[in-house]
């Protein structure tokens, strides 16, 4: 157990991971009823990354994420109720039912919207960082993306520009080895994503993405660098997704990957491992753990009932809201 990280941060990391895990387990439970009519890209197995990165952020720091964005938004502080309602297509959803699970938004928390186009959010994070620099603010921008997004030209263009302008942006690549069902070896010549940062004069680190403390520490450094005006960083966090690319089932069932591989990674479950470490080091007691679990369960249930109670959008909403009508505000 790291003694550099204060106790309340360790508890915060665990709590965040648990909130993500339990929220998504609820989605897995509810999904087969086929009432949540939106494709869900589950984050189970990757929780340590969102938690480790976002615990270094403040409300005014920007977050730009992707199709697999539930965990990122929860970690940044988005209310689970408006997320759940969005999944169900309700009027109370964060996007009013217009976006679905891939298009979460939370401007209050400096989340200006998730893109479902691979790589789509990366340049926007660079732009948010540019705005912060121009305005002379201390806000940092973080973007989460998968190893698949590193295939895209926009990743490289964005890294280059961010480095050129020394922008306060942290690139976080969640390398879960697959893009849909394509293994990284089918898409990348070396598999060394962190190493590509060097080409742009950006520091790149590769970290165990199932270890929340390791992620927390390296992103703390990256966020501090950004805040000081030293420029961008790239973090490659190696991890694994347990569920299918989309939906609540496992991929090996369709023959898309070896079951053995999933079993090995499940052994490295970030939530379970961290729980054990907190217990053995005495940071949290079993009772505290239980208390936390029931508090989160209650929060998740509230999110579901918020969604249940939320009305459907009025069909007149269909043609409303194409343009912003607030003028110069």
Q: Give the interface with other proteins as residue ranges (CB under 8 A).
A: 34, 37-39, 86, 89-90, 93, 95, 97-103, 115-120, 148-149, 151-154, 179-182, 186-188, 246-247, 249, 254-256, 312-313, 315, 317-319, 321-322
Among 95, 176, 210, 310, binds ligand TPP (CB under 6 A): 176
Pick 100 or 212: Cβ nearer other proteins? 100
Instruction: Confirm if 56 and 83 have CB atoms less than 8 A apart.
Output: no
Q: CA-to-CA distance for 50 and 174, rounded, in angstroms?
A: 9
**217 binds, options other proteins, ligand TPP, none, Cβ within 5 to 8 A by partner type:** none
Give the number of other CB atoms < 10 A from CB of residue 290: 10
Does 48 participate in binding ligand TPP (rule CB under 6 A)? Answer: no
Q: x/- string (CB under 6 A) for ligand TPP, residues 238-277?
A: -------x--------------------------------
Among 1, 8, 29, 117, binds ligand TPP (CB under 6 A): 117
Instruction: Confirm if 17 and 47 have CB atoms less than 8 A apart.
Output: yes
- Tell the smallest beta-carbon distance from residue 150 to other proteins (Å): 9
Q: Which of residues 53-82 bind ligand TPP (CB under 6 A)?
A: 67-68
- Among the candidate windows 21-29, 81-89, 111-119, 264-272, which touches ligand TPP by CB under 6 A? 111-119
Give the number of other CB atoms < 10 A from CB of residue 287: 8
Instruction: Confirm if 256 and 179 have CB atoms less than 8 A apart.
Output: no
User: What residue ranges in 155-298 does DSSP mark as E strands?
Assistant: 169-175, 178-179, 182-183, 204-208, 233-238
Largest pairwise CA distance in the chain: 57
Q: Give helix 7-30 / helix 286-309 axis angle, nearest 10°.
A: 40
- Tell the smallest beta-carbon distance from residue 165 to other proteins (Å): 23
Which residue in the shown chain puts its C-beta closest to ligand TPP?
A: 146
**45 binds, options ligand TPP, other proteins, none, Cβ within 5 to 8 A by partner type:** none
- Tell the smallest beta-carbon distance from residue 251 to ligand TPP (Å): 11
Question: Residue 162 phi/psi, 5° resolution?
Answer: -60, -40
Contacts of 118 (CB under 8 A, 6+ apart): 66, 67, 145, 146, 148, 149, 151, 152, 179
Q: Would you list the DSSP string of 79-95? A: -HHHHHHHHTT-TTSTT
Instruction: Confirm if 292 and 14 have CB atoms less than 8 A apart.
Output: yes
Q: x/- string (CB under 6 A) for ligand TPP, residues 126-165?
A: -------------------xxxxx----------------
Given the rule CB under 6 A, which residues bind ligand TPP? 67-68, 116-118, 145-149, 174, 176, 178-180, 245
């Amino acid at each position: 157990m790291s003694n550099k990280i204060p106790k309340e941060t360790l508890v915060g990391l665990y709590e965040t991971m648990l909130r993500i895990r339990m929220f998504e387990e609820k989605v897995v439970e509810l999904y087969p009823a086929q009432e949540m009519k939106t494709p869900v890209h589950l984050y189970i197995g990757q929780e340590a990354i969102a938690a480790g990165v976002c615990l270094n952020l403040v409300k005014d720091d920007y977050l730009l994420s992707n199709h697999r964005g539930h965990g990122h938004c929860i970690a940044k502080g988005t209310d689970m109720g408006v997320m759940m309602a969005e999944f169900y297509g309700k009027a109370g959803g964060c996007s009013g039912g217009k976006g679905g699970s891939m298009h979460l938004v939370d401007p209050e928390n400096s989340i200006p919207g998730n893109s479902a186009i691979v790589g789509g959010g990366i340049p926007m994070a660079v732009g948010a960082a540019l705005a912060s620099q121009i305005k002379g603010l201390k806000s940092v921008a973080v973007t989460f993306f998968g190893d698949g997004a590193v295939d895209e030209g926009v990743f490289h263009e964005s890294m280059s520009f961010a480095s050129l302008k020394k922008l306060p942006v942290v690139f976080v690549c969640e390398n879960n080895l697959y893009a849909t069902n394509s293994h990284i070896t089918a898409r990348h010549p070396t598999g060394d994503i962190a190493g590509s940062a060097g080409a742009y004069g950006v520091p790149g680190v590769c970290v165990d993405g199932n270890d929340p403390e390791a992620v927390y520490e390296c992103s703390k450094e990256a966020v501090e660098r950004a805040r000081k005006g030293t420029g961008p960083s790239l973090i490659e966090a190696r991890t694994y997704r347990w569920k299918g690319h989309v939906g609540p089932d496992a991929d090996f069932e369709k023959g898309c990957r070896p079951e053995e591989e999933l079993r090995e990674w499940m052994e490295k479950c970030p939530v379970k491992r961290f729980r054990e470490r907190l217990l053995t080091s005495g940071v949290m007691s079993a009772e505290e753990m239980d208390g936390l679990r029931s508090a989160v369960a209650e929060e998740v249930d509230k999110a579901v009932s918020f969604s249940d109670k939320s009305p459907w959008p009025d069909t007149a909403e269909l043609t409303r809201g194409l343009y912003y009508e607030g003028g110069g505000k």
